[in-house]
Structure 1
Amino acid sequence: MWREVSAESQARQRPGTERCERGAGDIVAPPGHWRLAWQAAGGSLPYSLLIDRRAFVAALILLLALLTASLAYLAMGSSPLPPQAVPAALVGRGDMMAVFLVQELRLPRLAAACLTGAAFGVAGCLMQTLARNRLATPGIIGIDNGATAFAVASVIGLGVSLAPPAMALAGATTAAALTFGLAAGGGVRGYRFIVAGIGVGAVFGAITQLLLAKVHIDTANAAYPWTVGSLNARPAGAVMLLAVGLSLGLGAALWLTRALSLMRFSDAVASGLGLRVARRRWQVLAVSVLLTGLAVAVAGPVGLIGLIGPEIARSLSSPRGVPVVASALAGALVMVLADLAGRILLSPIEIPVGIVTAVVGGPWLLWILLRPASRNLA
């Protein structure tokens, strides 16, 4: 990634490159990057870190947009609050009703929206990169429906709030295994994988509807949020488990960033560059299944977040890398805005977030199919 040049060549270096002394030579940061270097105590060589400028700026823009949307989320609702009252309510000051609305009602729901949106966004980015196809999201290839079917089965059969996360993970794993098994011979690339996932998702969707049709109406109502996607009154245990899983999954995704960049090439090229393709492929799949299962256990099958979030991140970020962090931020932003719209559009009637994302995601899916392929997945 870096090249060394002699002192005589310094005058010929392109404008905008950054240099750092390293012995007799200079290390030049590649165009479009910042290079941070530091010297460890007692070390003979400096440590360096490259930061993609465009990716950093994109992540910063998305973070600021998410913070703005979060402020609006806490202030708006059936009982609106002045924006300036939200910071005071967050620390327990000001009007007691404002404190109750922010801390007890809206803040936990905002946390669930950010966590689930980020998990769906990262999972979608990983699956799209793995399959080199913008349609290969957990929702479209059946992983969401598998997790939903198992979560609904746990609610109907057990009625325990801590059961859905474990069952959702089992369902996501089962759906992923079935999809890969049915696509055997075609790998994870190409439309055979997509068609197999659509078929698996349809089967699990039918199983979910059958389960709901065979139980008492009260039990079916308890399981209903897992069929359409909702953030209303989410179990605190499931949200906490998702927070832990997202921290681990995001860290693993960042660790796999180099492998993900190489996976955009053919398997022969990636193997020639030293990548253990099969091992990395299973690791990426495991992280996607973990994030999808935990997110579905909290919010239900809001799968189109995994399609919209990575596409926004990819359009803002540099084509040189895989926008894992930007996908997490974009997914969280879309989820927060969608849930906010569902809360206020027909207030006091609430529209589940899954329905809002479906209304927005349908045209977005058509737009993706009609526009040229993204250069990041080419």
Structure 2
Amino acid sequence: MTTRIDFGRSVLVVRSRGLTARVGVRSVVVCVILLVAALAVAVLALGTGDYAIPPDRVLRALVIGDHRFDRLVVWEWRFPRVVLALALGAALGVGGAILQSVTRNPLGSPDIVGFNTGAYTGALIVMLVLGGGSFQTSAGALIGGLGAALAIQLLAFRHNVTGFRLIIVGIGVSAMLASVNTWLVLRADLNAAMSAAAWGAGSLNGVSWSQVAPALVLLAGLVAVLIPVAKWLPILELGDDQARAFGIQVGRARLLLIVLSVALTATATAVAGPIAFIALAAPQLGRRLARTPSIALAPAAAMGALLLVACDWIAQRAFAPTTLPVGVVTVSIGGLYLAYLLVAEARRN
């Protein structure tokens, strides 16, 4: 198999046997800058804490590992948290990008539509009703997110799901599930309710290597499924008639993409709880930086990774030695972004 790369004025064209990909040069540059920034924040996060380690010793511990205690602190205590922050942030960014592209609406985010709320409902049922452990809670969150997506899909279905109807129905389902969540917490005993509330804030506290491998394997599988169908997204944004003209079965394509969006979001929720606003903000911020005509997955993933690892670092250090759930920081920052987005959309309309 041969591969050839051609540089145009602003487009990078990769040609291989049976495959041609066109990538904006600016998008590549933006992704590289965002990833470098995310890795720089990750190194800072690995070195900050009660036992501070300078960045050069962090890199030495990662590569050489000649200082045993540095290696213990970096690899065993802090590295799982940073790896999950990068991976889950990218997953949330891609999940939000898919849903915003399918609905053709910047508010079409899994946490706005209600998928996160459904995942929280599934986790609460396992934690407070069935008395399950951490693995069962993660499975319950995944099932809850997919169940909420199915309910929203069925309620919004009329020939095909339209973006605006999906968002409105999702907000309604989210409100009903939120009331169920409140009832589940209120009827539980105090200790269980406090644990459920802490999990519901979205936190990477206490994650370990035992959670990293399953999450990365599941995300890798979802990405493998997404890669061949990602080409449908810009075509679907042109409208259903145009998409059918290109030979796409619109209903099936949209359903598969929504399932992938929910699965990516629910995986992150299953590991760390419902982390709000990363899926909402990352695709739009990545799009504005890359100046792409439509939602692009790579900038959304890179921006999501940077946002989550940076917010988690802030959550650890802002009120040290008290560590906040990362969801508290993302809600604070995301609320400002949501207000800006609503004002911008109102002015545009």
State the TM-score, normalized to the length of structure 2.
0.90
Q: Identity of counterpart residues, as a percentage?
A: 31
Structure 2 residue 69 is the aligned partner of structure 1 residue 97: yes
1:126 matched to 2:94? The reply is no
- 1:162 and 1:237 in contact (8 A); partners too: no
1:53-92 paired onto structure 2 within 5 Å: 53-91=25-63
Give the SS at the match of 1:319.
Answer: coil
Matches of 1:338 and 1:82 in 2, distance apart?
20
Q: Tell me which residue corresponds to 1:287.
A: 260
Check if 1:189 corresponds to 2:162.
yes
- Of stretches 81-90 and 237-246 in structure 1, the one that deviates more from structure 2 is 237-246
Q: Which deviations, in whole Å up to 9, do the C-alpha atoms of 1:249-300 show, x marking residues without a partner?
A: 2233332222001111111111112221111111101111211111101111
Structure 2 residue identity aligned to 1:175 = A
Per-residue CA distance 1:294-325 (angstroms, 9 max, x = gap) = 11011111131001111121112242454112
What secondary structure does 1:159 align onto? coil
Q: Could you tell which deviates more after superposition, 308-317 or 228-237?
A: 228-237
Where structure 1 has 5 or more consecutive residues not aligned to the other structure, the ranges are 1-19, 21-26, 41-45
Counterpart in 1 of 2:11?
33
Residues 77 and 211 of structure 1: CA distance in aligned 2, closer, same or farther (over 3 Å):
same
**For residues 249 and 316 of structure 1, what CA distance do their matches in structure 2 show?**
26
> Where does residue 215 of structure 1 map in the other structure?
188
Q: 2:216 aligns with which of 220, 230, 243?
A: 243
Q: Does the CA contact (< 8 Å) of 2:160 and 2:251 recur in 1?
A: no
Q: Tell me the alpha carbon deviations over residues 121-160 of structure 1, each in whole angstroms, 9 at most, x when there is no partner.
A: 1100000000000101110001001001111221232332
Q: Report what 1:16 is aligned to.
A: none
CA contact (8 A) 1:119 1:292 kept: yes
Partner of 2:246: 273
What SS is found at the alignment partner of 2:53?
coil
1:115 lines up with 2:83 in the alignment: no
Contact 1:238–1:297 (CA under 8 A) maintained in structure 2: no
What CA distance in whole angstroms lies between the structure 2 residues aligned with 1:250 and 1:236? Answer: 21
List alignment gaps of at least 5 residues for structure 2: none
Give the distance between the partners of 1:78 and 1:106, measured in 2 at CA: 12
Alpha-carbon separation, structure 1, partners of 2:13 and 2:238: 26
Matched, 1:317 2:280: no
Offset of residue 372 of structure 1: 5.1
Q: Partners in 1 of 2:45 and 2:250 — Cα distance? A: 42
Query: Per-residue CA shift, 1:183-212, capped at 9, x if unaligned?
Result: 233954343322221121122222222222
Matching of residue 146 in structure 1 with residue 123 in structure 2: no
Provide, for residues 95-141 of structure 1, a one-character-per-residue CA deviation record: whole Å limited to 9, x for no partner: 44322321122111111211211111110000000000010111000
RMSD of aligned residue pairs (Cα, Å) = 2.6
Deviation of 1:335 after TM superposition, in Å, equals: 0.5
Match of residue 229, structure 2, among 256, 261, 265: 256
Give the partner amino acid of 2:116.
Answer: D
Decide which of 300, 307, 331 is 1:358's aligned counterpart: 331
Residue 362 of structure 1: how far off its partner (Å): 0.4
Which residue does 2:78 correspond to in 1?
A: 106
Tell me the residue number matched to 2:299: 326
Q: SS of the residue aligned with 1:139?
A: helix
The whole-number CA distance in structure 2 between the counterparts of 1:198 and 1:55 is 32
Aligned to 1:9: none
For residues 333 and 28 of structure 1, what CA distance do their matches in structure 2 show?
29
Please identify the structure whose Cα radius of gyration is greater: 1
CA drift of 1:243 comes to 0.9
Structure number with higher relative contact order (C-alpha < 8 Å, ≥ 6 residues apart):
2
Distance, in Å, in 1 between the alignment partners of 2:6 and 2:44 is: 43
CA deviation after TM superposition for structure 1 residue 36, in Å: 4.1
* Deviations 1:208-247 (CA, angstroms, capped at 9, x unpaired): 2222222222222333332110000136444322211211
Residue-pair matches, total: 344
Distance change (3 Å), C-alpha of 1:360 and 1:74: same
Deviation (angstroms), 1:173: 1.3
CA distance in 2, matches of 1:338, 1:310: 17
Query: CA–CA distance in 2 between the matches of 1:86 and 1:186?
Result: 55
Q: Answer with 308-317 or 118-127: which moved more.
A: 308-317
Preserved contact between residue 186 and residue 193 of structure 1 (Cα < 8 Å): no
- For the pair 1:174 / 2:152, whether they are aligned, the reply is no
SS in structure 1 of the partner of residue 22 of structure 2: strand
Give the superposition deviation at 1:340.
Answer: 0.4
Paired letter, 2:55: P
Q: Which moved more, 1:222-231 or 1:256-265?
A: 222-231
Q: Secondary structure at the match of 1:348?
A: coil
